[in-house]
Structure 1
Amino acid sequence: MKLYKLFSFQAKNALKTLALVLILLDVLVANAQQNEDTSVIWKKMEAVLKSMKTPVFPNKTYSIINYGAKSSSTFDNTLSIKKAIQDCSKNGGGTVLIPKGTYFTRPIHLESNVNLHLEDGAELLFSANPKDFPLVHTTFEGTECMNYSPLIYANNKTNVAVTGKGTINGQASNDNWWSWCGKDTYGWKEGMPKQQKDIEILMSMAEKGIEVKNRIFGDNHYLRPNFVEFFECTNVLIKDINVINAPFWVLHPMKSTNVIVDGVNINSHGPNNDGCDPEYSKNVNIKNCTFNTGDDCIAIKAGRDADGRRVGIKSENIIVQNCKMFDGHGGVTIGSEMSAGVSNVYVENCVMNSPNLDVAIRLKTNSKRGGLIENFYVRNIEIGEVNEAVLKVDMFYNVHGNQEGSFIPRIENISLENVKVKYGGKFSILALGRKDSKIKNITLNNVLIEKVNTPFSIENVENLKFINTYINGALANTTGM
């Protein structure tokens, strides 16, 4: 009997040991799979980067001074800059030089193989008079139209750049463009014009399928122009410039491929002053930039509602590296204009920190937008302070009235890895999915979030995972969610 009890005791211990070993193996396998999966993900990003080439320009320089330009805040240098650009492009390309000084100008239209280069100490001072802005094929909040030209504009060009340590100044303020948003904080007063009526007209035109060439706005309308827009361009470089006082969205690659935004410093706090909005664009690398904005720092777009579905070009392979985000509604966001879909977004080695930064990572859509957001990967991020949430995913984003429709959005595959947050705001994760379209596959791996009011507010999320993630000092898990 004693031998039986001894054997029974040893057998039980052996079974317990085996069970522990199996559990440990499961954990090791799961961790190995997780590491393998993320390794594959980031190798895909590296492959995209290797496929991208920085535009190169012939060693020819065309100084605008040689075309009659004068350093002045009132002298109109538009024709001098235009002639320099045309000669540069006609002769095979090169650099159009803006020397040290201040140069007033109306909108600038770039040509292929031209690098518009601003010397350190150079400033382009743009007109704020709407009558100086010709109509061009452009877009407003994800809907194409004929509207005021962007301040710097390139349409269907190849190998084109804006570079240098100088400054582009849109001169927007409460006294001109900004008041059109219709908010008193930006100078609007009762009886002054505002954009809302024109937005509604444009939305209606898009829903009715009216051709873009017949969606005419501009003079006597109040849709503000984008600052720098590359429309249907290939091989684009925006490097080192300082940007201030934008009328509307700041940098807007639209239907463009192979776009590099490097070392740009944006400081513009007007309404809808998104820092960089890649839209319908592919292979975009935003790196080494600083964002201090009146709206989202980086907002990835893909068209709005019927117009987004008409164009049908998704934004994909958007890579954000080594950037600093301060004031703004969101650090890196997708939407809400994303009806054509967004795939493969990579964010790494960034710093976000401001009491005026609402959300670090934000994905927003609704059932009028529809569309698919998939494969949003974040790693190695330091967040000092956010106001509302570290991660916010919202399928009920509401703006411009009723946003309910029959185009059910999908959101899936979101990963945050190696993220540290000192002040997490109201929520670590705020995720609002739909019963008929749940948010799928959110993973937090090696994430540390401190000083957050409420760890989670989650509805209709499928497959939420925490791996070595601590919130307010406690190991996070999905128990009770």
Structure 2
Amino acid sequence: MRIFRGCICVAAFFTMFAIGCSKKEPKINVVAMGAVGDQKTLNTVVFQEAIDSCSNRGGGVVFVPKGVYVIGTILLKDNVTLELSENATLLGSEHFEDYINIDPFTDATGQVRGNCLVGARDVQNISIIGKGTIDGNGGKFTPESYKKRKVKLKGQKNANRPFLIRIVRSSNVKLQNIRIQQSGAWAVHLYQSKDVFLEDLNIYNHCNKNNDGIDLDSSHDIFINNCKINTEDDAICIKATSSLPTYNVKVRNCWLKSDWGAIKFGTESMGDFYKIDIQDCFIRDTKGGGIKLLSVDGSNMHDVVINNITMENVDMPIFIRLGERLRTYRNAEKRIVGSIKNVKISNVKATTMGLDEARVSPPSGVFITGTPNYKIEQISLENIEITLPGGSDGIAGQIKENVKMYPEYTFFNVLPAYGIFARHIENLDLKNVVFLLESKDARKEMIFQDVARKTIK
């Protein structure tokens, strides 16, 4: 099943869940099973027994009424819906020993990952719905909190801060209406999963490092709609920590704010990225890039459409990078350098941050770069309008190649063009690309280096 190939498939997706949680199947109230929502009692065992019982009977609903329920790791099972009432909160335990690592891996920063609060592994037909809250209590996993609570860390525990929701090798997944907040690390991580529907999520994640919103990792057939995401790190991140691709992804009508990046492909980019369609999104107050497309670990990125994006107060609205870092994950063999082609970004209206806010000041609007040995194959920008503060005296240093470095535009410092700086590209098509200045900028509007063919209309 493909959940976004036409209205019929989306309707079929909802029908599947309606059947999976019909009135004939059990609805188990966790309080009836012995759970206590007093913000003190550890309820992990009771919640897991309710989930297991529901699944063993063929599926149904595990219902969480009003209250604050402290839990460690709970694992969803086949055909189970976890329903949170409007005044219900699942609160993550502050103790490491209450968490389970359901699929260990080491991320791009060298940190061991895998622990989570709500997890699923090798299951199907699962959902989390309702108007309640899942709170990761991530502030308890900071060095300041450890010191205050006199917590003694052992081994990799400091690195393995728990994710909030983690779905591994599972299918037919739905998250809808819930509030997700304050994870120890990423808020929602989908790994090697498929047929996923995420809608009306409210994600707030600002209490720890690497506080991403939604991470799509080597997964496919995903529909994200009408989500509000406010994060310390990447808001929506498309990545691949395995050689399997991330593909067939649609994102619609999302509101995004980030202290680092709003829409990002990479940096973990072993597997390919393709057939990705992102439209009708609003981005604001984002310090680390609005749209960031990064292939640096061997990913072949193609057939990407990003359309109708509005940005306000965003540092570096568009950044595209093909690099040669070639980092591996999960003991995989090293891949060859990847490619970027058939990428179209259109109908973007953006204003950048001011001189005092931008991480690179004065800022630029668009930065696209391959490497001297590996050129980006094809990029199309159409109907782009970016307003910038200006303010440069025209002096900019040599822009280094940084072919194997972590792919971040801040490492290149001030660019020699205020509008677009593009280099190492085979084909670049620009149509109605406009840059507006609020004050004088002595830099050139556009600079192209080692661009084999460009069209400007």
Q: 1:245 to 1:398 in 2, by over 3 A?
A: farther
Determine the structure 1 residue equivalent to 2:404.
none
The whole-number CA distance in structure 1 between the counterparts of 2:115 and 2:448 is 54
Moved more, 48-57 or 416-425: 48-57
Are 1:106 and 2:36 an aligned pair? no
Match of 1:372 among 287, 300, 308: 300
* CA shift digits 1:145-177 (9 cap, x unpaired): 99653110111111001111111111111xx32
For 1:328-407, list aligned pairs within 5 A. 328-354=259-285, 356-366=286-296, 369-387=297-315, 389-396=316-323, 407=336
Q: CA deviation at 1:223?
A: 2.1
The whole-number CA distance in structure 2 between the counterparts of 1:294 and 1:58 is 39
More helix per residue: 1
Letter in 2 for 1:90: N
Q: CA deviation at 1:462?
A: 2.3
Q: CA deviation at 1:108?
A: 1.0
1:455 touches 1:471 (CA, 8 Å); kept in 2?
Answer: yes
Are 1:117 and 2:79 an aligned pair? no
Are 1:255 and 2:186 an aligned pair? no
CA RMSD in angstroms comes to 3.2
Q: 1:146 to 1:96 in 2, by over 3 A?
A: farther
Q: 1:360 to 1:399 in 2, by over 3 A?
A: farther
Q: 1:188 to 1:409 in 2, by over 3 A?
A: farther
Determine the structure 2 residue equivalent to 1:202.
none
Match of 2:427 among 443, 449, 463: 463
Q: TM-score, normalised by structure 1?
A: 0.74
Q: CA deviation at 1:77?
A: 1.4
Determine the structure 2 residue equivalent to 1:87.
53
- Stretches of structure 2 lacking an aligned partner (at least 5 in a row): 328-333, 391-417, 439-444, 452-457
Are 1:264 and 2:201 an aligned pair? yes
Q: 1:346 to 1:459 in 2, by over 3 A?
A: same
- Stretches of structure 1 lacking an aligned partner (at least 5 in a row): 1-43, 199-216
Q: CA deviation at 1:473?
A: 7.0
Letter in 2 for 1:264: L
2:3 touches 2:223 (CA, 8 Å); kept in 1?
Answer: no
Q: 1:406 to 1:192 in 2, by over 3 A?
A: farther
The whole-number CA distance in structure 1 between the counterparts of 2:424 and 2:229 is 33
The whole-number CA distance in structure 1 between the counterparts of 2:426 and 2:147 is 44
Determine the structure 2 residue equivalent to 1:72.
38
1:292 touches 1:325 (CA, 8 Å); kept in 2?
Answer: yes
> How many residues of Structure 1 are paired with residues of Structure 2 in the alignment?
392
Identity %: 25
Match of 2:62 among 96, 111, 116: 96
Determine the structure 2 residue equivalent to 1:422.
351
Q: 1:342 to 1:50 in 2, by over 3 A?
A: farther
Q: TM-score, normalised by structure 2?
A: 0.78
Are 1:433 and 2:370 an aligned pair? yes
* CA shift digits 1:247-296 (9 cap, x unpaired): 11110111111001111111111211110011110111111111111100
The whole-number CA distance in structure 1 between the counterparts of 2:22 and 2:222 is 24
More strand per residue: 2
Secondary structure in structure 1 of the residue aligned to 2:62: strand
Q: CA deviation at 1:374?
A: 1.4
Determine the structure 1 residue equivalent to 2:412.
none
Q: CA deviation at 1:127?
A: 0.5
Secondary structure in structure 2 of the residue aligned to 1:340: coil
Secondary structure in structure 2 of the residue aligned to 1:375: strand
Letter in 2 for 1:340: G
The whole-number CA distance in structure 1 between the counterparts of 2:33 and 2:96 is 25
The whole-number CA distance in structure 2 between the counterparts of 1:148 and 1:479 is 43
Letter in 2 for 1:357: K
Q: CA deviation at 1:469?
A: 2.2
Secondary structure in structure 1 of the residue aligned to 2:270: coil
